[in-house]
Every structure is written in C-alpha cells, then in structure tokens.
Amino acid sequence: MKVLVIGGGAREHALCRSLSLDSAVTSLHCAPGNAGIAEVAELHPVDALDGAAVARLAAELDAELVVVGPEAPLVAGVADAVREAGIPCFGPSSEAARLEGSKAFAKDVMAAANVPTARAYVCTTPAEIDTALDAFGAPYVVKDDGLAAGKGVVVTDDVEAARAHALACGRVVIEEFLDGPEVSLFAITDGVTVLPLQPAQDFKRARDGDAGPNTGGMGAYSPLPWADPKLVDEVMETVLQPTVDELRRRGTPFAGLLYAGLAITSRGVRVIEFNARFGDPETQVVLARLKTPLAGVLLNAANGTLASEPALNWLDDAAVTVVIASHNYPETPRTGDPIEGLDEVAAHDAPQAYVLHAGTRRDGDAIVSAGGRVLSVTATGAGLAEARERAYTALARVRLDGSQHRTDIAAKAAGV
C-alpha cells in the first residue's frame, strides 16, 4: 500500500514510524514532514493547508491512503479534497472536524447526544461574559471558540484575567470547572463503527508539578495503572458511540480519529474537549504500544469497512514520552538552534527508546530546531518506571541550547 501522511510534527513522525514498520506499506510519503520523518518517508514540500495541492500530490504518487494528521488542514477541508479526487482518506470532513474547530459546536453536539460535559455558556457580549463568570465563580474556565493550538483556554482564579481573556476572544465559551485527573482516549471510526485505542495521560502545563502556562503537551504515558479497568467501556457507551451516532444523524458523519479529552470527576466522567485527530504527545505512547499493523486499520476507517476489523492487539509494555521544547516555549520560542546527540540515542538506547521529531529541519549537515516543541523522546518498558527511566536516559544524551523539558512525566503513576 502506498501511503501519504500530511503534517510534520511528532504525531506525524509517530504515525510514519508505525506505518514504516507495517509490512503492508510498500511506500511511504509525507508532506511537508520534518528532519526526522525524512529518515522513514519521502518528503514533499506541499502546503498541508492546500487541499487541491494535497489531492494533486496524492494522485501523482498513486497513493492508496492519505492520512491527515493536524487539525488545521482537516478544518480547512483537506480530507474532503482528497476524497473528492477518489482517494481513500483517513481524517474527518471539514464539517465533522468542527467538533474540534468550534467549542460551541462541540457543546451543541454533546447536548443533543446526551454526552456528559461541563455546563457552559456561549458568550459574545461583555454583559453575557459577566453573567457567565458570576454564575460559575472561581476557578474560571474561559475558552476561545475557535482553533487556538492549545493556547485558547485560560483557567484562573483571577476574575479580571478571566474577563480580559474572554473579551479578547470575540466568541467565547465559559464553563464550569471540572476537578479530577485528565485522560485522553482516542477512537478510530468510519462514522458508524467505533474502535477505541488505549487511554493515555498528557501533561499540558509547561513546568514540573503542573505549574506554568498551558502548552500543546509536554509529555504522556500509557497505560494508566490508576484508572478503572471499565473506563474504556464506559467512555465508549456514554461518549464516543453517541457522538459518532449524532454526527451521522446530522448528515455529517465523522470518519477518522475521535479524541476525547476527559476529566474523571467525583461525579463521573466528563468531556473537557473533543479533537478531530490524533493527539500529540499521546499518540507517541499509544502507537508505541499498538501491535496491530496500522495501515489496514486506517484504510478500513477511510473506506467505511471498520466493522470487518478485529479488536486491536496491544503490547503489555508501558510507554512514556517526554517533550523537549525550545527556549522560551510556549511564549516566544527561539528556533534555529543546533541539535546534537541524536546518533548517540540511536546507538545506545534503540529500539526501546527513540527520538521523534516535532519542530526540526535540516540545515546543511546539522539538524536544527524549527518550532516550539522540538523533539519527543519515547521509550517502552516492562512498566512505567522502566519506560520512564529509559526515556530520561535517552533524553540526557540530546543537546539543544536553552531547551526545557519536564522531569516529572509519569512519575506519580509510576510510583517514583
């Protein structure tokens, strides 16, 4: 199978790595990719947001499957353009991707499908904003309605900061604070059949101890030893299947990866947000544990034949990933710094630990940083403690001037 992956972050590197290990995949392409993906796939300098250009590239390559990684191309309709060209595509339509693209739309779908989530007001005027902030009290949760790369949400005890963010957003969702640990659960769906993956936990705050600003994600682990073994079944029944059914009922079926960001509150599971694509960095740990070859599952989802897919197989191993971010991430990340030590990881730590590239590019013989999140060091082990130790051992070999990472990824869950 000839496969084309769209995107160029650590999630796409993880997808490409899994696809490159799948014997059904005969040739692998990525656009635009990054310096790490170039080691497993042929790169093409195509704008991921340009549906016509992506469809043209897929046709030129005779691609039999296109996988769209990030949210921005999905919301822009890139999957629609590929499907219109008659090429199977893993990734929801622009209409269905509104589940991520508009928080207000997601709330409306959840209300219609009876999916448990935080009570919320959608506000557009200062008066509505004040009413909503008063109604819920502190801590305040204020969310930009549109796509904001993980930076549109402010959670604060400071009513002035909450009001200022709300006024800056235009259309804004103000909602009830959900207390409890967060879980990310992904499901692959063709719009009818839903196949859940294994749950993972992401670390959204920039610094140790969940301090600092929200980021795109600083690390993740799977499995979750502390979670109820029935969690996946419960979320399937109360969240994933009803949401997929509701979008089909509306005539905008969701086919692709449905990401449920959940809070496990004292009153039960609540949806914090939906995303319309694999999450980063959770994908790195979930795919590290997936034994079933990936390409066939994604193709079945793209073709509407997921019901023929047997249950997925998983390694018993645990997986941990730690993100290396650039100087001053997430505020004003510095780019262009050389990265060293990657070959040492390959020599000493592979295959149990490896580096996935997020924001990198080649500059002559060097690999340099090209984004806020630069690398994602991923490792597997017999348990979380071993996976964690391997990830941090490998991470210590990587040198990037001014870089930062969290030192406490999976520490609590591993009991260390």
Residues in contact with ligand GLY by the rule CB under 6 A: 150, 202, 217, 275, 279-280, 282
Which x/- pattern, by CB under 6 A, does the window 224-263 give for ligand AMP? Answer: -------------------------------------x--
Judged by CB under 6 A, the residue of 20, 156, 214, 292 near ligand AMP is: 214
Specify the residue, 73 or 279, whose C-beta has the smaller distance to ligand AMP: 279
What is the C-alpha to C-alpha distance for residues 154 and 156, in angstroms, rounded to an integer?
A: 6
What ranges make up the beta strands (E) of 69-145?
89-90, 120-123, 140-144
Nearest approach, Cβ of residue 124 and ligand GLY (Å): 25
Specify the residue, 140 or 392, whose C-beta has the smaller distance to ligand AMP: 140
| Ordered DSSP codes for 11-38 | HHHHHHHHHHT-TT-SEEEEEE--TTGG
The partner in contact with residue 182, picked from ligand AMP, ligand GLY, none with C-beta cut-offs of 5 to 8 angstroms by kind, is: ligand AMP
Q: Cβ neighbours of residue 378 under 8 Å, at least 6 residues apart?
A: 14, 284, 285, 288, 319, 320, 321, 353, 354, 355, 356, 391
What is the C-alpha to C-alpha distance for residues 215 and 212, in angstroms, rounded to an integer?
A: 9
What is the C-alpha to C-alpha distance for residues 329 and 261, in angstroms, rounded to an integer?
A: 23
The partner in contact with residue 279, picked from ligand GLY, ligand AMP, none with C-beta cut-offs of 5 to 8 angstroms by kind, is: ligand GLY
Q: Which of residues 267-296 bind ligand AMP (CB under 6 A)?
A: 272-273
**DSSP 8-state assignment for residue 290:** B
The partner in contact with residue 272, picked from ligand GLY, ligand AMP, none with C-beta cut-offs of 5 to 8 angstroms by kind, is: ligand AMP
End-to-end, the C-alpha distance of the chain in Å comes to: 43
CB-closest chain residue to ligand GLY: 279
The partner in contact with residue 141, picked from ligand GLY, ligand AMP, none with C-beta cut-offs of 5 to 8 angstroms by kind, is: ligand AMP
What is the C-alpha to C-alpha distance for residues 403 and 382, in angstroms, rounded to an integer?
A: 29
Nearest approach, Cβ of residue 217 and ligand AMP (Å): 9
Ramachandran region, residue 208 (left: φ > 0; alpha: ψ -120 to 50; beta: rest)? beta
Residue numbers at the binding site for ligand AMP (CB under 6 A): 118, 141, 143, 150, 153, 155, 175-178, 182, 204, 214, 261, 272-273
